[in-house]
Amino acid sequence: MVLVSKLVKTIAYERYGNTDVMKIIDIPIPKPDTGQILVNVHAAALNPKDYLVRKGLFKWLTRGGFPKIPGLDFAGTIAEVGPNVELSVGTPIYGSLNEISTKRGTLTEFLLIDQTECAPKPNALSFVEAAAIPLAGQTALQALQDLIHLKSGQKILILGASGGVGVYAIQIAKAMGAHVTTTSSEGNKDFCKSLGADIALDYRVDNPFAQQDRYDAIFDAFGNQSFSKAEKSLKPEGVYVNTVPSLRILWDYVRTLFSGKRAKMVLVRSNTEDLNELAAMVETGTLKPVIDSVYEFDNYREAFKRIESRHARGKVVVKVSEQGLQHF
Ligand SMILES: NC(=O)c1ccc[n+]([C@@H]2O[C@H](COP(=O)([O-])OP(=O)(O)OC[C@H]3O[C@@H](n4cnc5c(N)ncnc54)[C@H](OP(=O)(O)O)[C@@H]3O)[C@@H](O)[C@H]2O)c1
């Protein structure tokens, strides 16, 4: 294949700030090295990290200068492969970046990834639907499977269950045979039940830690609670997992290392095995993408405003480039 256009549209920013610091720029198409894949990105989903980094909240973590490119989730088609890559050109894939510097971001027409950051896209899903799963789905999977070791028949409380991470946590917990209690606003209680919640609480009215129930696990998907508050609602060997890195959760993790009740924090790591597992769940019908809204590329600021409202129901997705490899 011969490239007829070497510059591609990318959303980027040169300083920290609100949505207006972002603009569309042209960047050169990168070349894949050993183990790398060049993806023609068709759709990218947004995650809170995209705007938290842009606002400068993770400066200590995201060194590496500007421009920074937002976006971690992608679905697209393989355009070119480097040496030692098993997947071939033309394969539809999905995944998310293990990116800290955000020098790479998925809101670009052509993206360089490591082959371990992707897997073949579930056949049943469109690119927009597939882009809605990787980061949030893997966060939920890794929390429930690797940190909580959730078992059939156990009771789990999922806090902030109608958000990007929560909608997958509900479905994965049900697929694992758990009894699921959720929190969301009143307007999203039926929505949580439609995804599989057995009991849906309203966080504005019901104190989830004042219920009679004791849980084997509490997954704080929204991340605004703490182990100290949750502790009394856990069973003696119960596990509390938070999604937001903080000194408090690190300290709780250390001080409960040898306790019955444990505090943990999930730090998602994109990998082919987990993406394949999520794809298999999609194929068997136990997991479905949950999309709050879809935006055209040029309308990206509206997409950011929606996720920054903190009230998206599932994922916010941006269409990046049309399927059809128009650059080739
Ligand atoms: N550590 C990691 O590896 C990792 C990975 C992914 C995400 N995260 C973090 O996990 C957190 C959640 O991510 P997300 O993608 O699920 O966010 P999100 O999609 O922006 O969450 C939005 C949802 O949060 C709910 N919500 C708003 N205020 C709430 C409150 N006070 N209590 C409970 N729920 C509330 C909303 O429900 P209502 O509209 O019903 O209020 C909405 O459905 C973020 O802080 C993100 O940075 C961490």
The contacts found for 225-232 with CB under 8 angstroms, 24 or more apart, are 225/159, 226/252, 227/252, 227/256, 227/263, 228/252, 231/261
What lies within 8 Å, CB to CB, of 257 at 6+ separation is none
Ligand 1 atom with minimal separation from the 48 CA: 47
Decide whether any atom of ligand 1 lies within 6 Å of the 191 Cβ: no
Ligand 1 centroid vs 141 CA: distance in angstroms? Answer: 16
pLDDT of amino acid 58: 87
For the chain, which ranges sit under pLDDT 50? 1-4, 324-328
Question: Residue 112 has which token pair?
Answer: 């360089």
Q: What is the pLDDT of residues 1-28, one digit of tens each?
A: 444 457 889 999 999 999 999 999 999 9
> Is the Cα torsion angle 307, 113, 272, 124 positive or negative in sign?
positive
Decide whether any atom of ligand 1 lies within 6 Å of the 113 Cβ: no
Let me know: does 219 contact 143? Beta carbons within 8 Å: yes
pLDDT of amino acid 69: 97
pLDDT of amino acid 95: 98
Decide whether any atom of ligand 1 lies within 6 Å of the 313 Cβ: yes
pLDDT of amino acid 2: 44
Ligand 1 atom with minimal separation from the 160 CA: 34
pTM of the predicted protein model: 0.97
Q: What is the pLDDT of residues 277-291, one digit of tens each?
A: 999 999 999 999 999
pLDDT of amino acid 5: 55
Residue ID of nearest Cα to ligand 1 atom 18: 163
Q: What is the pLDDT of residues 61-97, one digit of tens each?
A: 887 889 999 999 999 999 999 999 999 999 999 999 9
Residue ID of nearest Cα to ligand 1 atom 30: 160
Secondary structure letter of residue 232 according to DSSP: G
